[in-house]
Structures are given as C-alpha cells and as structure tokens.
Structure 1
C-alpha cells in the first residue's frame, strides 16, 4: 500500500508498488482491454525480489535459523534477490555472500558491494547441479563457513507466499478500488495476469492469491525465454533447448521447487526471444516513461503474444473493461551498460535534433560575422 507515514527503515518501503495504465502500447497494438503494468522498480531495492528477500529473512529470524550477530547469509541468485537480501541484511546486521553467474550485469555486482555483500562470480555455462555453478559454489561456501545459511529462493516456501500475501492482494486492491467509468470501463476484477518465470515464485504466489481469493476464472500466463526449460508442455522448449539467452532474471535449466506444476496455477506458457524482449523494454521506456529492465520486456512480449491468440483476443484483448495485468519486475538501473540498452542512445537523429543543430549552427555563424 502507499506509504503515508514515517517508516522505521527501508524494509517498510518494500512493496506497495503502483499499477499503471499502459495506454499508449495498448492503442498501438489495437487492444480494447485495460493493459496495466505492476511496476516493481518502485520498491526499496528496485525489484519484485525485494518482497521475497524481506519475508525469507524475517521468517528465518522467527524460526531461529538466522541468529543476529552470528549468521552469515549466502544466496545463489541472478542478482535481484541478492540485492534484496543485501538490503535487508545491511539493515539487520548480517554478513552476506552472493554467488552470481558471470553474465549478470556489472551494475548488479556494484549495487551488491555497495550494500556490503561479498560477490562471487561463477561461469554462466555451468549447469545448475555443477559444483562450479552459482548454486554449487554457494553450497560449498555454506559447508565451510560457520553459521552460514542459504535461504534458498528456489525451495523456500516464503518465496511464493510473499507474493500470495503482498503482490497479489495489492493488484486486487488497485483493481477493485478503481471505479468503472464510461471513459475508463472496468470489469471490477483481475481478468488476466502475466509474468515472466524465474524461480516461479512470483507467478505461483500471485496466481494463488487471484484464483483462490478473488477470481477463480482469472487466466494466468507465464513467459519463459527461449533456451529455458520452464514452459509446459515440455515440447515448447525443444526447439531452442540449451540455447544461451541474454535476458537476466528469468528462465532456468532446472525446475525450481517453488514453481507450482499444479494444474490451473499457470494456464498458458509463452516463449520469448531476447530480441523481442529488449525491443519491448525500450518501448516501455520511450512510450510509457517506465524505466524497466529486459525481463519486463519479456513479460510484455508474453502478454501481447497471448492476447493475440484466439482465446486471448476474443475473451480479453478485444473486450473493453477487461483488466490485463503485466508484472514488470525491475528497472533499468541494473542494465545501463548492457548493449541492448546502449542501442537506444545510438538512434538516428530526430527531426528535432536536426532543428537544434541548425539553430546552433546559425547562431554560431551570426556571432562570427
């Protein structure tokens, strides 16, 4: 919820992120539904992963497995969970070690170190169950360091629970509390929810909140990058199996325990490409003013692709008042040096740029005469 009182510390600024209309993109794509972005970079640590980091730490403290002044937190991560944990542990006084695949951005490493975490890079190509992987290295360190604990976002039930108890209800509250008007019609409920899948905790937890407590007919769609194996049926993954992908924070070469395979949790899977994801992220930045990262682009690609299927278009995309929510997991802060973002700065000069140059050139010539 919006923060209207003084907070005790930055942990109180986790969550409470806005639901924002993506009207320009919806119009461009010919959609009649309400296309809405749940914008997670407004959270204290800059991503949706702040939520699970906070809950995993606080629940571990309640259970007595994290001991102030003694425990060392270790976590294998693609970066954002690590940043959330480093933020929480900086406030609470725990030492932190983050194991991070080499492909993850320099900005993530810099942010982690600024928060006081130790960072260990691991080979991107290492299989998840290899001793050299970010998971394997974390396990090696945990065995060797006294009082070390891996909170383990891949298995920790507090990962999906954080989203079932916070992200999902926030989306519901925003939809329900926004009245339907002639100019802004609304069904009054969440009709479709789309998110990229990494650990799968987000899509699992939000799905449970929406379907069990709000709208059992809500359609949940998950995006999975080409080269990952999370999508179902598994035949969706065969064409690009093992292919390397650049987008960060989503997709895996194993199925995390927190990703529910229970029928009805995820209704549809959409495979996404790096090229499309980065183009969509740039579109969100330029058209909607939302400074998002590549995985947000992947989620938007999955949403638009599904809305253009027969089921998606007839049931929702072409329906005024249908509410389609896309989770945008993090911001551009972590990717400023990435080639896909730098391409934005190399765009051909605009007519306005030519006009500016002409004015300045004429002004310079006038002063020299």
Structure 2
C-alpha cells in the first residue's frame, strides 16, 4: 500500500472532512472539479456543521449525563437533522427535526431509524409565520430548559465552512477561477466564498438556486413558489447569507437538476443528489456560454453536497421522474430505450424457452433435488397432477437450506415446503400472469422484484416454461440490443 488507511476511532465524527476532489470533465475548455461533500459519513456537507456545533456546545456546557437527555431542535431540509441525529446517536441527546413537506420519504425513514422526532412544516412559508420550521422549533424549545436550537439560517460562526474552503485551496493549489455553490441557508456559501476570495483575487462566485427561489436578484414568490429539488432555495434571505460574496446568481429548473444528477450517476458513477445536479448544471451552462479564452486554463469548482442514497424513491426512481416530468430529452431517451425500445416489441415467445420441466406436489424432496441438480435448474414449477394447473414452485436454495436446518427430510413431500399460488396454503405467494404474449418490456419490469417467471397460458391452466433474467439478457445479446 502506498498510503495508510485511517486509524481505528471510536467516533464517527473523526471521519468528517478531507473529502475528495474529482475532475468530472471539460466543457468548452473549462475544467470542472467536483468537491465530493457527499462522501462525508451521512452523505452530506452538513456533517461539518453538525460536528462543529455539537463539539462547541459540549465545550461550553459539558457532555450530557446518560440519565439526563438534552434536546436538540433542527429546523432544516433534513440533511442537517440527519447529520446531527447521526452524531448524537452515541450521546445523550433527543433530536427533533422540523422539515418541509417536500422532504423525501427516504430521509424521513432515515431520521426515524436514528430515533429523531419529525415535525413537518409547509414548503415555502415565511420564517416569521407561526407554522414555519423556525417558529415551530423555537416554540418547542420553550418546553425544555436546556434545549438547543440549531438553525443554520442564523449561524454566525462559519469555521466549519472555512475549513472546507481551506481544503479546496490546497487541492487546487489556489488555481481557481469560479466557484459554484447551491444556496439554502447561505451559511456554506458565506463561509466558503469569503475565505477563498481573501486568498484568490479575481475569483468569481456563483450562487445556485431553483427556479422560484428568491435568494438572488429574483423576486420571492411567497406561498406560490415551490420546487421539488431539496436542500437549495428559499423565499427569504437568511441572516447567515452574505450576498456580497456572490458575484452572480443562477436559477436551475427541477428538470435540469434531476436530469443532471442522473447523468452524473450513470456516466461517471458520481452518486450525488438533485441539489448537486443543480450546481453542476449551472456550472456546465456557464462554461458553455463563455466566448473568450486566453492561454489560461479556466477552472471551476462545484460543491456536491448531497448523496443519491437519500433519494431512492425520487431521484433514483425512473417512474417517479417520468410521473413528475423531471427527465430531459437525453435522460428520457435513455429511460425509454432501457425500459422499452431495446426490446423492439418482442414478447416472451421470442425467448424460445424450452418446454417446462415440472413436478407434482406429491413428489419427494429427494426427487426434486435430483431433477434440479441434473438439469442445472434453480426452480421447478409444481403442477397439480389432475388438471395440470400451476399451483406453486420450489427452489433449490430453499430446499438445501431447509435440509441443512433439519426442518425437512429427503422423503418429505414437496407440497409441505413449496411456495404456493393458492389461498389454501399459508405459504401464499402473489402471482402475476406471464404468458407467451407478455412483452419483454413488461417481463423486465417483473424481474426487478423477482428472480424468475413461470410462463403459463392466460388462464393459468398450462405451465409452458420458466424464464429468468439470464434468458432476457441472452436475447438482448443475440439481437445486439445490449
């Protein structure tokens, strides 16, 4: 090994910071460098602030006793709440996260798993309104004598973001022309930009926000403003945002943000979230619009502050993207090709499957094992001997596991341990009819949740064959569609 791995630690916070810088390509002779803040432990830039706030709080007030839990209230778009709840997991804190209604269900489930209480607030409400996240957090804090409210919109000490800026300075050797930062509370922007501008004369800083946001020179839209991308944008200017450090504001649509994030994931393996997609979209569009170049190599840094892992039900869901019209032409073509076009209207019949090898419910487990091992099958359809109707299936892995556990014997009947498709069995499995006329596009969707498909007629009277994802991939390879 050319370098040493991190030492053993007892604190997750020890692994926060020192995130990688990745060259993600060149647009119009402008090099784009991405600061991968989503590689922090919880997948967010907010880990830096959470660590700093908790450490400073404990310096002033001591570490809470195990028998006396302190309460922390976090009005945020959830990432800060996740960071604080994660770092507080081994400490005696009760975390209450006040999040907007737009917050993805993935992050809500993560907060719940961390033991945090969750309070929802309207998406775009003014901070002084009684139902705003800030007002709700402040009101709840009054119920606890020693409660701590971590409101990033009012953060004054920007040390954690100065540390991030120093990392950027060292990684780029101070050779940097433009900085692109997604803005919500403004604390990260203010801390990073002010630090770098003091050390890099001529640095241009671009604030990135969603369409409808009112952070820049655009007029806030109040209750009528809404956007789907999380973690950036606001209808008011927080006190933690120093607008003097921002040279230009760029608004990015939801479609641009989500589509760019999906392209970064697919084309470069950069597992970033939608707000990171917005920042890269802004930097790419800006680079494409530059008309004059000198011999100087132009370089831009983008802050990728969130992970795609917190958006499995939104960003990573093809169906959700299509339902919400968030796929641009490039992503739309990719999705349509992968889900439908590459199958060229082919059906299960085109797979040319061999005739089904079946077994009756009365057959012994030994018989089933011999048949599967001899034919190299992983599953066998179970057919009723009287009417030849499909009643279930048995899998090789399941039988072998049960034999090892001693819950079945070789001479036991298959019906005692098969996966049944009838209501008479307590081992009921949901059945979806797959016929020779089923499109391969539909079969591919079926394989997203199932390892194999039993092909029958439309009335399920006859078992015609067994299809697996292997058969589908082989078909695509033969037709040169893969």
TM bracket (short chain): 0.7 to 0.9
CA distance in 2, matches of 1:217, 1:61: 39
**Equivalent-residue separation in structure 1 for 2:210 and 2:277 (angstroms):** 11
The corresponding residue for 1:185 is: none
Residues 1:364 and 2:340 aligned together: no
Distance 1:121 1:90 in 2: 22
Match of 2:314 in 1: 338
Which residue is 1:96 aligned to? 95
CA deviation string 1:89-129 (max 9, x = no partner): 11322111111111111111111111121111123243322
Deviation at 1:306, TM superposition (A): 2.4
Q: State which of 283, 289, 301 in structure 2 corresponds to 1:303.
A: 283
Is 1:172 paired with 2:169? yes
Instruction: Give 1 or 2: higher helix fraction.
Output: 1
- Indicate if the aligned counterparts of 2:190 and 2:242 stay in contact, CA closer than 8 A: yes
How many Å separate the matches in 1 of 2:229 and 2:255? Answer: 9
Tell me whether 1:149 sits opposite 2:125 in the alignment.
Answer: no
> CA separation in 1, counterparts of 2:285 and 2:221?
18
* Preserved CA contact (<8 Å) 1:3 1:13: no
Q: Deviations over 1:212-262 (max 9, x none)?
A: 2x312211111111111111xx2x33689942111111111221111113x
Aligned residue in 1 for 2:44 = 47
- Whether the aligned pair in 1 keeps the contact of 2:308 and 2:316 (CA below 8 Å) is no
The answer for unaligned runs of 5 or more in structure 2 is 323-331, 357-463, 466-482
Q: Distance in 1 between matches of 2:18 and 2:249?
A: 27
Pairwise CA RMSD of aligned residues?
A: 3.0
**What does residue range 173-252 of structure 1 map to in structure 2 within 5 Å?**
173-176=170-173, 189-212=175-198, 214-231=199-216, 234=217, 236-237=218-219, 242-252=224-234
Work out the CA distance in 1 between the residues paired with 2:220 and 2:61. 44
Residue number in structure 1 paired with 2:130: 131
* Deviation (angstroms), 1:88: 1.5
| Residues 298-324 of structure 1, C-alpha deviations (whole Å, 9 max, x = no match) | 111221232234xx4535xx8663221
- The 5-angstrom pairing of residues 104-115 of structure 1 reads 104-115=103-114
Find the residue that maps to 1:96 and give its secondary structure: strand
SS of aligned partner of 2:44: coil
Whether the aligned pair in 2 keeps the contact of 1:282 and 1:341 (CA below 8 Å) is no
**SS of the counterpart of 1:194?**
strand
Structure 1: distance between partners of 2:111 and 2:121:
15
The C-alpha deviation readout for 1:122-146, integer Å capped at 9, x for no partner, is: 2324332211121111111001223
C-alpha distance in 2 between matches for 1:338 and 1:164: 32
Map of 1:39-78 to 2, 5 A cutoff? 39-64=36-61, 67-68=64-65, 69-78=68-77
Q: Distance in 1 between the 2:62 and 2:201 partners?
A: 36
Whether 1:285 and 2:265 are equivalent positions in the alignment is yes
1:37 to 28, 34, 38: 34
Alignment of 1:329 onto 2:305: yes
TM, length-normalised to structure 2? 0.64
* Closer/same/farther in 2, CA of residues 240 and 92 from structure 1, 3 Å limit: closer
Structure 2 match to 1:181: none
Cα 1:53–1:253, aligned 2, differ >3 Å: closer, same or farther? same
Q: 1:161 — aligned with what?
A: 159
For structure 1, which segment, 118-127 or 218-227, has the greater mean C-alpha deviation from structure 2 after superposition? Answer: 118-127
**SS of 1:349's equivalent?**
helix
Shift of 1:203: 1.5
C-alpha distance in structure 2 between counterparts of 1:273 and 1:73, whole Å: 34
